[in-house]
Chain A
């Protein structure tokens, strides 16, 4: 799909230690940012054999949850400012959240402020549900997303 890597030398960080949760996080209906982070931290970067967590694309702190209103907001930080993979990362996050949390949750996904050269247009595209639906019907994109989601055991 790409002729050369967008970011050939990403900085790789250690994975954070997993918090052993004493209770089953899904025992009640409450969703918190750590639940969300746990569901997306192992998504593989579209370009590199590292997880989004290892590349510091996102963290627990970049996630907010409003349980009462049913809102999940994620901001992520592409590894480089002109990252053409931002749309794919956004799709991966959206698909993973759709699979992991009740369908009534409203999900907003944005790149963190200043992290992308085309910030406004990337954010608009990531949150246009018609474009998202069409992208997920594209076999090539769908396959790329599935690879990022399911080859997470690295």
Chain B
């Protein structure tokens, strides 16, 4: 970016919109991946303890309005939401043990399918990069993979067992059918498919013994190339994982390619609930200390490789815990955040560090 100034550290995160409507804590956010281009205004989905999801859209005047409330499909907390890559379908995962699929029809969202199978709370849902698969995870310790069939039919093609406690979040690699799950059991697991046999297995477990987290792992995010990922935890740390030394092992049988790159600690003093990596390489984190932090890669390489530095910390970003931070995929200076205070905020990063060569 051109308006970037690392030397003066002249960056600020300004609140530009506050989206009010949910009547309980907001758990998660998802930007519609195709919005913000081709005539579709920037669009954001949020989901809440009020049992609804809301669709927010930027109006012609630049204001943000709630264009739809998705209700009556779930009878408990809606914990997570994810858009299909084409932006036409939204999946919502609920504590009611189901995942609902919503289709944008005209100006309305209709629930066109319900995925049932988990024994109890579904905590996260994610669409794969081609839009052919959905992953869900639950307090029942399992990860399910669903294949999309013609006519809005969804078939479970695999149930992945391996975590010993609740699975908190699932996320797909940005361009490969590699799935990562994080858990209350403190571990991160990497899953791939064996050939085309719907035979999914765990290729790598990143636990405390592999420089991993020492408490619940809440969230993960890949960088845009998919050669690094970042995770955050109840242990108050953020960890960056790298594949650069052995990328060919992405589909390995025994050992996955991921190794611990660095640990960012001392920035949040309560559980870190959300991390998200922007297209421009900036990591945002949101935590139970009500703060948002932004990090970027420091170019002064240490002997053991790259490290990450704090760009800024926004104290009191919300009145209560920050549960989700998500960068706009089209406009990488815009960040959305969701909180226990019931609001969603949009932030603008007004100057970002340039890549010092």
Query: Which residue numbers of A lie inside 8 Å of B, CB to CB?
Result: 103-104, 106, 124, 128-131, 133-134, 137
Task: Answer whether A124 and B123 are a contact pair too, CB < 8 Å, given A103-B341, A137-B95.
Answer: no
- Seed contacts A129-B288, A134-B76; 4 additional CB < 8 Å A-B pairs: A103-B320, A133-B77, A137-B76, A137-B77
Which of B121, B215, B216, B340 is the one whose CB lies under 8 Å from A134? B121
Complexed CA–CA distance, A130 and B139 (Å): 10
Which of A124, A128, A129, A137 is the one whose CB lies under 8 Å from B321? A129
Task: Answer whether A130 and B123 are a contact pair too, CB < 8 Å, given A106-B270, A137-B76.
Answer: yes
Tell me if B139 and A134 are in contact (CB < 8 A).
yes
Min CB–CB distance B100 → chain A (angstroms): 17
**Residues 247-278 of B contacting A (Cβ, < 8 Å):** 270
Residues of chain A with a CB closer than 8 A to B49's CB: 133
Query: Which residue numbers of B lie inside 8 Å of A, CB to CB?
Result: 25, 49, 76-77, 79, 95, 120-121, 123, 139, 166, 168, 184, 215-216, 234, 270, 288, 290, 319-321, 340-341
Complexed CA–CA distance, A131 and B340 (Å): 15
Tell me if B168 and A130 are in contact (CB < 8 A).
yes
Tell me if A104 and B320 are in contact (CB < 8 A).
yes
Min CB–CB distance A125 → chain B (angstroms): 9
Min CB–CB distance B293 → chain A (angstroms): 18
Tell me if A134 and B95 are in contact (CB < 8 A).
yes
Tell me if A124 and B216 are in contact (CB < 8 A).
yes
Question: Can you identify 14 A-B contacts, CB atoms within 8 angstroms?
Answer: A103-B341, A104-B319, A106-B270, A124-B184, A124-B215, A124-B234, A128-B184, A130-B79, A133-B25, A133-B49, A133-B77, A134-B77, A134-B95, A134-B121
A interface SS class: helix
Residues of chain A with a CB closer than 8 A to B139's CB: 131, 134
Residues of chain A with a CB closer than 8 A to B123's CB: 130
Complexed CA–CA distance, A106 and B215 (Å): 19
Task: Answer whether A106 and B288 are a contact pair too, CB < 8 Å, given A124-B215, A130-B123.
Answer: yes
Min CB–CB distance B220 → chain A (angstroms): 16
Residues of chain B with a CB closer than 8 A to A104's CB: 290, 319-320
Residues of chain A with a CB closer than 8 A to B290's CB: 104
Residues of chain B with a CB closer than 8 A to A131's CB: 139, 166
Residues of chain A with a CB closer than 8 A to B270's CB: 106
Min CB–CB distance B235 → chain A (angstroms): 11
Complexed CA–CA distance, A124 and B77 (Å): 21
Tell me if A103 and B77 are in contact (CB < 8 A).
no
Identity of the chain A residue whose Cβ is nearest the Cβ of B318 in the assembled complex: A104
Tell me if A128 and B216 are in contact (CB < 8 A).
yes
Complexed CA–CA distance, A26 and B270 (Å): 27
User: What are the 3 A-B residue pairs with the smallest beta carbon separation, nearest first?
Assistant: A137-B76, A134-B121, A134-B95
Complexed CA–CA distance, A134 and B79 (Å): 10
Identity of the chain A residue whose Cβ is nearest the Cβ of B49 in the assembled complex: A133
Min CB–CB distance A95 → chain B (angstroms): 14
Complexed CA–CA distance, A104 and B321 (Å): 9
Complexed CA–CA distance, A106 and B321 (Å): 9
Complexed CA–CA distance, A124 and B270 (Å): 14
Complexed CA–CA distance, A43 and B317 (Å): 34
Min CB–CB distance B26 → chain A (angstroms): 12
Residues of chain A with a CB closer than 8 A to B216's CB: 124, 128
Min CB–CB distance B81 → chain A (angstroms): 15
Residues of chain B with a CB closer than 8 A to A130's CB: 79, 123, 166, 168
Residues of chain B with a CB closer than 8 A to A129's CB: 288, 321
Complexed CA–CA distance, A124 and B216 (Å): 9
Residues of chain A with a CB closer than 8 A to B288's CB: 106, 129
Min CB–CB distance A106 → chain B (angstroms): 7
Complexed CA–CA distance, A128 and B185 (Å): 12
Identity of the chain A residue whose Cβ is nearest the Cβ of B316 in the assembled complex: A104
